[in-house]
Structure 1
């Protein structure tokens, strides 16, 4: 709800909501600021309460926010809504999801478990996005460029309603399908235990890996606008370009998870940063211009493989970093506060770059930032892999 929607329909969203890239980025920033506190607060909750209960409440309350989105709120109300989603999707959702996945992966493989998690989420996002684009196109005139603002607004409202319904459906499925973990008597870590986790160098290296990978993930929000403003595709075609990236997600994440069983997750993460750096640098170079559709598509395919392979694996290396299972929630809180800091600064930064340098230059600067962080992530992942050498066979 907070991210895939705007990633696919960013050009239309800017028109319908009457906001600039910077104002939309500010809403993302509010989400990120709230998320910082939510990560720390939600981590210990995940070690204390059943995942099924927390995930159900999180999904239901997130869906309720869709009712506000359907009203096409003002920029200030939109920022408040994103702050609300920061609570529902982070404090109540994120750490329980990661802990449940890590426990499940003990039965076979951490890499495969997290790869399947990210791949499953990605498959649902891709299918949903494809349906959204199809519905959006069907609700507009045959020539989408002639659609009025009112027609685009009404079409977008139907998309938000669909997302809200799917999110409520996910909450119901969680209640029916997810086993309830029996919480042990000792459910909270002592301050000294948490402090020991926070003092582990591997935790901080993993946090750096997540941060650099997440900058790349945030940068792909620009794919559809890049397609529209640089390549010259119309708004429906640009939305399809954004969806094409989402279809890479399940294959990249699941494939990386299975390869991690053989090669080790740290090595796969290092390799994924190489792909991300290469793809981002091409988009940053200005080598892709108007009409170069297939070159653009191939570039976003390779960039997306790097991004989504990283997302499928960067929590799978907790085992390599020797983080105790009992303190998974607390560790996820710290990892997420640092790793997802781009939620605070990437939205305004991208908005500023795109508004300050309209057209090709702004997009080049966005992917220059992604390239820089990909290189830093490559360094951090290499150091982590070297430290984890006895466990990965490197």
Structure 2
């Protein structure tokens, strides 16, 4: 592809089919590029046993990834404003594919730490800014909440298909968990590599996507840092993300407390994490476009609290197993839906495109902070209440679920704070306009 400015494309220059392809590419990529790092969300028990680590060690390895990610979120947003989407997307995918290949070899704990730290660089510093900005570039601003919700629906399709592969592998290998985990990771490596090649071939140079003046200054970050909308949205994301990721602990709860088989729990986990996103992403996106993202998140968070309370007080046993699985899927529906429209709070607050990448970086630094401690914290809670046979007590899960309830309540509170802040600022702006004398 030529590098002349005349080759740059704007939203209107792209055909409808090209815009859809790029939306699908970014959405599928955001599902699959993080699958290796977040494998414990679906493959918790097999992964722990295949790697030969404790719950705490597994949480600590992921914590190393999360700390790296935390450091990289902000510069990733700045990179997204300075480097073209095609370059970031292709390099991020291909480098992650290489690391996933080595992860598939099931290395020792020291090498695992190294892989996860480097994966934090490739998936966050390099690739993270691509998803939201590429969706923004192929969308009209007013359509962004609907488009990002649709993007999470496509994310769900990709995740569900990949999840079906994982389920088939579990059934195929039986008790040979090491082989199953390795095969799955090799498969992910190949798919991620293909996405990298497609990114280089089909993502165009967008007009206005990068700022060429000023080098790598922090002007965009300063603008984002001073915007109250970015800060309130970031705190809202912090608590939404906390319960969004925490709901994955319903998987070991199903197998360890409710007595659900590993194969059935894997199916439910895939539906909860990905399949339900087919509906939750578009539905929450549509509701957010019709109302406001902040209100949608607040209501969804409170419904999450109610559903989790019902699940916590269900009696255990075969008679309620189906009800419990339905509740797990419902929790996933709400968590995925709320998380899917959190970034739309930036467009709700009219954050300009000029520092949108930096804003998403700051949003991520605050919003994804739970990754740095929640896995280790929850893993230690489980290990502290594990008997000699390796069984985790139901009380450990109850303790985790109460923490998630607190996070969901606070997510609702801060989303409403954003709504009230925007309403107040609009009222002040209208009042000021009315006092300006007409020439």
1:221 Cα deviation from its structure 2 partner: 2.1
CA deviation after TM superposition for structure 1 residue 341, in Å: 0.3
Correspondence for 2:241 among 202, 211, 214: 214
Alignment of 1:177-192 (within 5 A): 177-182=202-207, 183-186=210-213, 191=218
2:338 corresponds to 1:304: no
In structure 1, the partner of 2:59 is 25
| 1:143 alignment counterpart | none
CA contact (8 A) 2:220 2:354 kept: no
| Aligned position for 2:70 | 36
1:245-264 correspondence to structure 2 within 5 Å:
245=272, 246-264=274-292
Match of 2:258 among 220, 227, 231: 231
1:1-394 to structure 2, matched below 5 A, reads 1-106=35-140, 109-140=143-174, 147=175, 151-182=176-207, 183-186=210-213, 191=218, 194-245=221-272, 246-283=274-311, 285-291=312-318, 292-357=320-385, 358-389=392-423
Per-residue deviation, 1:120 = 1.3
Q: Which runs of 4+ in 1 moved over 4 A?
A: 187-193, 390-393
In the aligned structure 2, how far is the partner of 1:137 from the partner of 1:341?
A: 35
Change (3 A) 1:3 1:227: farther
Query: Could you tell me how far apart the structure 1 residues matched to 2:214 and 2:313 are?
Result: 53
1:200-251 deviation line (CA, Å, top 9, x unaligned) = 2221110011111111121122122111101102222221121120211121
Specify whether residues 69 and 193 from structure 1 end up closer, same or farther in structure 2 by C-alpha distance, changes over 3 A only.
closer
- 1:52-79 Cα offsets, whole Å, 9 max, x none, are 1101111111111122222211222222
Q: Which has the higher contact order (CA 8 A, sep 6+)?
A: 1
1:155-188 CA distances to partner (integer Å, 9 max, x unpaired)?
Answer: 2211111111111122122223322223354476
Give the superposition deviation at 1:190: 5.6
Alpha-carbon offset, residue 81 of structure 1: 1.4
Distance in 2 separating the partners of 1:240 and 1:177: 34
**Is contact 1:288–1:295 with CA below 8 Å preserved after alignment?**
no
Change (3 A) 1:227 1:326: same
**Post-superposition shift, 1:107?**
5.7
- TM-score normalized by the length of structure 2: 0.82
Bigger Cα displacement from structure 2, 272-281 vs 22-31: 272-281
My pick for the range that moved more, 287-296 or 253-262, is 287-296
Q: Cα gap change, 1:101/1:116 in structure 2, threshold over 3 Å: closer, same or farther?
A: same
Determine if contact 2:59/2:376 at 8 Å carries over to the other structure: yes
State the aligned residue count. 383
Out of 173-182 and 294-303, give the one that drifted further.
173-182
**Structure label with greater radius of gyration:** 2
Which residue pairs with 2:389 in the alignment? Answer: none
Distance 2:80 2:413 in 1: 31
| Alignment partners' CA distance in 2, 1:330 and 1:87 | 17
TM-score calculated relative to the size of structure 1: 0.91
Question: What SS is found at the alignment partner of 1:231?
Answer: coil
Listed as ranges, the gaps of 5+ residues in structure 2 are 1-34, 386-391, 428-439
Moved more, 99-108 or 214-223: 99-108
- Alpha carbons 2:255, 2:261 under 8 Å: kept: yes
1: CA distance, partners of 2:266 / 2:352? 42
Label 1:330 to 1:227 Cα distance change in 2 as closer, same or farther (>3 A): same
Structure 1 portions without partners, runs of 5+: 141-146
